[in-house]
Structure 1
Amino acid sequence: LYLFKLIFPLQTPSETVCYLFHSAIRMERRKMKIFVRVPACNFEADKMKSYIDQSIDPCENFYAFACGGFIQNTDKMEVTQFSILEDNVLANLKLLFEEPVFPQETYPFSVAKTLYKSCMDLERLESLGFSPLLNILEGIGSWPVLLGNDWKPHLQNWTEYAIWLKDAGLSKMDTFLKISEEPDLYNVSNKPITIDRPTLSISFTSLIKGTGSPSVYIYYRYMVDLASEMGAERDQAGWEMLETIRFQIEIANCFVNSSNDVVVTTMSIDEMRTRYPSVPWLEFLHKIFPSKEYLTIEEKLQVYYPSYLECFTTLVNNTDQSAFLFHFFIKLFSRTIANYAGWQAVASSAEYLNEFARNLKFEREGMISGLPYRQPRWRECIRTLQETMGEFVGALYGHHYYNKSENKDPFLELFKDLRESFFNTLNNTDWIDLETKQKAWRKASFMQVYFGYPFLYNNETKLSDVYCRFSLKDGEFYENIRSLISEFNKPELASFRDSVSRSENFFGWELTANNLRSRNSIHVPATLFQPPFFDTTRPQYLNYAGIGTTLGHEIIHGFDSVGRFFDEFGNFNDWWSTLTQLNFSLRTNCMVDQYNAFNPHTKGVNITVNGETTLAENIADNWGYKGAYHAYQNWLKRHGKSEQRLEGLNYNPNQLFWIAAAQKWCSGREVGFLRIFLLMMSTPHREFRVKGIFANSYDFARDFHCLPDQKMNPYKKCAVCSYNIAKNLKCYKIQSKKLV
């Protein structure tokens, strides 16, 4: 038991025993290819009781009441209900990947096991050092910083470097421009070629501050250290990487210049050639999407932030240079482009190389994020598989641990109850005009929920068809990764002409549900069909508090300040009336001010929640819990019964709903993590999610008999999606303020 506690950092011995019990059953179930119904371990009551701090008045600080015991018994690290569940999921995947390859096994499973095994072969990685990467760089005449004055360009322009990075499996066409096939924003049944701004090595908000930014300086030192270890003279590496980071800063400035631009437009290749003549668009795109069917100049492209393209092409061509400096500048600038492309190859490879490269990469990330930067090797390897074979890892987990034969009617009933709860909210909201209500009703009626794992992978034949072209080798981790990325970079041209299905599931084994606004659908991964989110053998108030509040949160994302731009089919279409937009803006002010006032009062953290940047999540949180609670009340009425209480807990089912809903967010409070969370996240820290949601809930205050104006029952409550706005309108703080 002690050894398993070290390997699987669960919270209690009973959870560990439960995990081992289920794992043994699942192992047998996989061998027998049948599903065995195993009663869930009955530790819900013990766990809930151990998390509660009975010395705290729930009406003064419900988070401290519901999570006080958890915090006291948790080390000073970021441990949450989600991280505990993640530990279980990763441990289950570890068991799968460490099994031997069986003769009759589906080919993709053997591919995943081979990749995992090569990732765990640390001795082989150390013996190879940087040689696999250096051999690849030789294909373009090496990396300029390594050769100094002996370097000569082998490629002529940035488009050739972009294609080389793609074909070599060193980039997913996301270096200079992001080029992919994405659903048409205005007609999601189509998938045009899409051109967008690239993903930068570090955030553009840090880059635009220049080399004086701490994050930029840390990243620059990382570049110099890695180049030096690969063989560059340190002084040479210093000034060449400085030019490379300055080039990235210029790209970030192009981000800023395009921020107020039209978000997306449609242009033919011929129009692209006219507007950006320095790029051979037809030839460039045909090399990215090779096919027997040749692209024509009439092909329509979906272009995001077109002014970024203008800024970027000007940057890489520098047509404004004087004739006197022209030849010198072109030579210098081509070297900068080559160094930048070479750095992208090196940066994308570092975590797949030796210990020095991995440590340097994770140390740099830790210094910027303020979080511990290394995990056990097996977890890093599973993360790598998720990044390179994400859909398949989700399918693999679902194939072995998700019981497809189990009755999912309770889950579908829960979703139906939530949708009815939303309809009731909509009917009782008086600030939305009738036409907008009708459109919202139609969108909610069309909304679908997909759960489990990707439908494509239910069919082992289709699964094998996808992965049959991959051939991986033992002990060749870096080459295996490149092979996977290179193959995935070769979509057939016909694929983006196929219609897009709303039921395409792109989730893997993550622990988050998602609202895909462009498809008007919610996707719930197989990992959430277990405690603390869902279990058919436990009381329904725990399920409505678990996965119910999660689904409610995702439903509202289809109707918030971003969801309003997507109609019932997922097409880009602003369907709100002007009056509804104005009323929405007025009603958000109360919530913004409320969350702005939240302060952790922790030594070393003098930072408050940002009510503006967290607004969309706060709106979704507040209705998600309210909607789930009323959905549960409807379930009780329909079934005409009162559910059993948990043994040893003197709380009724309604109160247990609120306790379970709050305990989803129990976490430790490590100061460094808390600071980063408040500065960078689009959601408030978990403590303030609970405080904000519950302080705005009349239902919670009634169920716990809170007195008026106690901290968890203030007179002034904030609501945007009110269940009965006519009743609670006097509690709103309404001011005229532009919504950001």
Structure 2
Amino acid sequence: MGKPESPMGMMEIAGPSGQKRPGFLEGVLLLLLLLVTGALVTLGVLYAHSRAIKEPVKDEICTTPGCVIAAARILQNMDLSQEPCDDFYQYACGGWLWRHVIPETNSRYSVFDILRDKLEVILKGVLENSASKDRPAVQKAKMLYRSCMNEGVIEKRDSQPLLRILEEVGGWPVAMDAWNDTVGPSWALEEQLAVMNTQFNRRVLIDLFIWNDDQNSSRHIIYIDQPTLGMPSREYYFNKGSNQKVRDAYLQLMVSVATMLRADMNLSENSYLVWEDMAQVLNLEMQLANATVPQEERHDVTTLYHRMEVAELQNKFHLKGFNWTLFIQSVLSSVKIELLPDEEVVVYGIPYLQNLEEIIDIYSARTMQNYLVWRLVLDRISSLSQRFKDARANYRKALYGTTVEEVRWRECVSYVNSNMESAVGSLYVKEAFPRESKNVVRELIDKVRAVFVETLDELSWMDMASKKKAQEKAMSIREQIGYPDYILEERNKHLDEEYSNLNFSEDLYFENGLQNLKAGAQRSLKKLREKVDQNLWIIGAAVVNAFYSPNRNQIVFPAGILQPPFFSKEQPQALNFGGIGMVIGHEITHGFDDNGRNFDKDGNMLDWWSNFSAQHFRKQSECMVYQYANYSWDLAEGQNAYRKWVADGGKNQQLPGLKMTYDQLFFINYAQVWCGSYRPEFAVQSIKTDVHSPLKYRVLGSLQNLAAFAKAFHCARGTPMHPQVRCRVW
């Protein structure tokens, strides 16, 4: 519903090869693979490999460095003692899992995480490189990075920056002795929520934001929705078992931070008051969690969307005298926008607002203020001295399973990239992204999309009218690849204008962060009276991810994901199709999943499905639901775009040391994109919060349903990778 979703991506081209005898060349190159990568492949493993895999097609062998590196990577990642038809994930990724231990700083470690680590190394280099001719936007990004790295000043300033902003928001009652006597009587919830939203970009208690109107994607509108919570998932607030452990650690963090701030203000410890106040805050948040609707019940945007005027909003949701006009106008005033007499809003969170009425009635202004400020404090801990980060160590261990904080430079690189993505993206693209890759990826998108459109004809569950609409939507999907051109154009001032209101100081990291929060809020709110810019990028270039936006009917592939194993000009097309081609297909399919299918080719929420097709879509989906329900986590037929490329005359080259068919390489690279492992604590969280399947089941769940996979690896019917019953939707 309006925000980017979903990870993936990669692609390629093959280079020319030499003319030596194949047998000799394979032996020499295999030795080279071992030297280049440090891989130690035993003769026994090679024997198992030659026994298990079909002889390759008689194409020339590619000897370029790109092909050698790709072959070495594939061999290293595999576990050739496994049968591909029994557990293809272990077969493709067993070597990777054996060689990689989850770092103490990570809750998960995967191919994606390794690529992000490499990207961050590049960003570290460009951010630390001081150049006299940097444009203003880049200068500010480097200044922000230096302020983050200035640990000596951050430690010296300690809690003082936080204490100052607590005064500005009316104080944190738990860290004061006289809140009720001074601030309390003049306290207004509407104004406090507006301050949190506009000054600190914290949408607490009520989520008010500006986004494309689902029913008219050419304009922006105000949305009112249920908020996020302090912990990542609502389930943490009221289930027992491991959730109790997380909840206890969360409460202890609240108490610890409040106690530290009281000491910094020379107030008595008053542990009873602190515990009582924070226990009330947790109780309030537990009530809020219970009032929210689980995310799995919010996929159908057509049932969420309720447009109404502000007057109707006021009549329907009194919230014990809450003044909606005052709240909304206070938010809009921060960007000098006047609320119209007939202003419309879209309410997503009707069940939540109905439940909120009783909650507001139960809790005092003191508890409400304690909660609002706690959410601000929780967000700002990362900007404070080390003792505050140490205070949250137990909570992070319970939540993620991590025991060590990320090294400072990685934290700073990630922060600057998140807050100045266009400026940082320009540095990354100049340093590491081959710009000609844009056209190659665009060709791949066209091929994958063409096959998706063709395969719609095969669907017996969809009638012709709905197929035609689906084809129109697929052909109308717009793509953004790599980066927006303007970030590299020195004469184009748009990049510098994006950050014109920011003025950072090397010694004021905390305040620099507050500037970013306010700028982010204002950037969003200002859109209300602006026409939607369909060319606007929804994500930065230096990101290892890919996205589909239903409101824009748009797929986005940032430069950060257009690298091996997803994509490279120097590897065979079979790997590119199995990597970035898979990502492209994934993002296109998001336009037709249980959420994306509610939007038409122009990004408007419109039911373009016939009753027949809609009913059968649900029926086809039930097969997938049943299949995935039978997975437990201890911790389209023969058509695909790669085959079409080959049929159209595309030529591959054989990789050295790998006696595999191109179809097998296609599926192996697809699987190896998802190699990774989780800490148990994070596995629990991801099941609750991630709309995607765990890494292993992304591989098994999809390939079990493909006849082309079973054919490529000669899997007999009834084996785990060739079940008796297959599922297919698209």
The residue that corresponds to 1:412 in the other structure is 442
The residue that corresponds to 1:597 in the other structure is 630
The residue that corresponds to 1:402 in the other structure is 433
Change (3 A) 1:150 1:716: closer
Question: Please, which moves more after superposition, 230-239 or 394-403?
Answer: 394-403
Do 1:45 and 1:647's aligned partners in 2 also have CA atoms closer than 8 Å? yes
Change (3 A) 1:279 1:690: same
2:213 corresponds, among 184, 191, 210, to: 184
Do 1:502 and 1:521's aligned partners in 2 also have CA atoms closer than 8 Å? no
- Aligned-partner Cα distance in 2 for 1:512–1:714: 31
Do 2:96 and 2:675's aligned partners in 1 also have CA atoms closer than 8 Å? yes
Change (3 A) 1:269 1:714: closer
1:473 maps onto 2:505 in alignment: yes
- Aligned-partner Cα distance in 1 for 2:294–2:659: 60
Give 1:223 shift.
Answer: 0.5
The residue that corresponds to 1:80 in the other structure is 110
Question: Which amino acid counterpart does residue 234 of structure 1 have in structure 2?
Answer: S
Q: Deviations for 1:193-213, whole angstroms, at most 9, x for unmatched residues?
A: 222222111222333459994
Give 1:372 shift.
Answer: 4.4
- Aligned-partner Cα distance in 1 for 2:240–2:78: 48
The residue that corresponds to 1:315 in the other structure is 359
1:483 maps onto 2:515 in alignment: yes
The residue that corresponds to 1:253 in the other structure is 290
Change (3 A) 1:220 1:12: farther
1:54-203 correspondence runs (5 A): 54-75=80-101, 78-100=108-130, 102-149=131-178, 151-154=180-183, 155-166=186-197, 169=199, 171-202=200-231, 203=233
Do 2:68 and 2:655's aligned partners in 1 also have CA atoms closer than 8 Å? no
The residue that corresponds to 2:645 in the other structure is 635
Q: Deviations for 1:424-480, whole angstroms, at most 9, x for unmatched residues?
A: 211011111122111111111111111112455344411111212211111211111
Do 2:102 and 2:677's aligned partners in 1 also have CA atoms closer than 8 Å? yes
SS in structure 2 at match of 1:55: coil
1:287 maps onto 2:313 in alignment: no
2:543 corresponds, among 510, 513, 527, to: 510
Change (3 A) 1:276 1:469: same
1:226 corresponds, among 243, 253, 257, to: 257
- Aligned-partner Cα distance in 1 for 2:201–2:429: 27
Question: Which amino acid counterpart does residue 444 of structure 1 have in structure 2?
Answer: A
The residue that corresponds to 1:428 in the other structure is 458
- Aligned-partner Cα distance in 2 for 1:524–1:642: 25
1:270 maps onto 2:303 in alignment: no
Question: Which amino acid counterpart does residue 252 of structure 2 have in structure 1?
Answer: R
Do 2:219 and 2:531's aligned partners in 1 also have CA atoms closer than 8 Å? yes
Do 1:448 and 1:522's aligned partners in 2 also have CA atoms closer than 8 Å? yes
Change (3 A) 1:199 1:668: closer
The residue that corresponds to 2:389 in the other structure is 358
The residue that corresponds to 1:339 in the other structure is 370
The residue that corresponds to 2:727 in the other structure is 718
| Fraction of identical pairs, as percent | 28
- Aligned-partner Cα distance in 1 for 2:590–2:236: 28
Change (3 A) 1:497 1:58: same
Give 1:276 shift.
Answer: 4.3
Change (3 A) 1:269 1:686: closer
Do 1:98 and 1:113's aligned partners in 2 also have CA atoms closer than 8 Å? yes
Do 1:391 and 1:506's aligned partners in 2 also have CA atoms closer than 8 Å? no
Change (3 A) 1:54 1:178: same
Change (3 A) 1:227 1:492: closer
The residue that corresponds to 1:241 in the other structure is 278
Give 1:650 shift.
Answer: 0.8
- Aligned-partner Cα distance in 2 for 1:506–1:85: 21
The residue that corresponds to 2:671 in the other structure is 662
- Aligned-partner Cα distance in 1 for 2:405–2:521: 29
Do 1:210 and 1:249's aligned partners in 2 also have CA atoms closer than 8 Å? no
- Aligned-partner Cα distance in 2 for 1:545–1:558: 20
Do 1:148 and 1:236's aligned partners in 2 also have CA atoms closer than 8 Å? no
- Aligned-partner Cα distance in 2 for 1:377–1:283: 42
Do 1:173 and 1:180's aligned partners in 2 also have CA atoms closer than 8 Å? no
RMSD over equivalenced CA pairs, Å: 2.9
- Report the TM-score when normalising by structure 1: 0.81
Do 1:450 and 1:524's aligned partners in 2 also have CA atoms closer than 8 Å? yes
- Aligned-partner Cα distance in 2 for 1:506–1:194: 18
SS in structure 1 at match of 2:209: strand
Q: Deviations for 1:135-154, whole angstroms, at most 9, x for unmatched residues?
A: 22123453211223565343
Q: Deviations for 1:699-727, whole angstroms, at most 9, x for unmatched residues?
A: 12212223333332233222222xxxxxx
Q: Deviations for 1:161-180, whole angstroms, at most 9, x for unmatched residues?
A: 1233345x4x3140122222
Q: Deviations for 1:360-389, whole angstroms, at most 9, x for unmatched residues?
A: 235413312334452111111122223433
Greater relative contact order (Cα 8 A, min sep 6): structure 1 or 2? 2
Aligned length: 649
- Aligned-partner Cα distance in 1 for 2:213–2:192: 28
Give 1:680 shift.
Answer: 5.1
- Aligned-partner Cα distance in 2 for 1:590–1:696: 11
Change (3 A) 1:494 1:390: closer
Change (3 A) 1:339 1:12: farther
1:303 corresponds, among 347, 366, 371, to: 347
Q: Deviations for 1:16-39, whole angstroms, at most 9, x for unmatched residues?
A: 9xxxxxxxxxxxxxxxxxxxxx98
1:543 maps onto 2:576 in alignment: yes
Give 1:284 shift.
Answer: 3.1
Change (3 A) 1:692 1:263: closer
- Aligned-partner Cα distance in 1 for 2:100–2:454: 41
1:688 corresponds, among 689, 692, 697, to: 697
Change (3 A) 1:289 1:662: same
Give 1:416 shift.
Answer: 1.4
Do 1:470 and 1:483's aligned partners in 2 also have CA atoms closer than 8 Å? yes
2:380 corresponds, among 349, 364, 378, to: 349
Give 1:317 shift.
Answer: 5.1
Do 1:447 and 1:521's aligned partners in 2 also have CA atoms closer than 8 Å? yes
Give 1:674 shift.
Answer: 4.7
- Aligned-partner Cα distance in 2 for 1:351–1:255: 27
- Aligned-partner Cα distance in 1 for 2:35–2:497: 43
- Aligned-partner Cα distance in 1 for 2:629–2:337: 55
Structure 1 residues without counterparts, runs of 5 or longer: 1-10, 17-37, 319-331, 606-622, 722-740
Give 1:40 shift.
Answer: 4.8
- Aligned-partner Cα distance in 2 for 1:201–1:515: 27
Give 1:226 shift.
Answer: 1.0
The residue that corresponds to 2:468 in the other structure is 438
- Aligned-partner Cα distance in 1 for 2:454–2:506: 58
1:497 maps onto 2:529 in alignment: yes
Do 2:202 and 2:376's aligned partners in 1 also have CA atoms closer than 8 Å? no
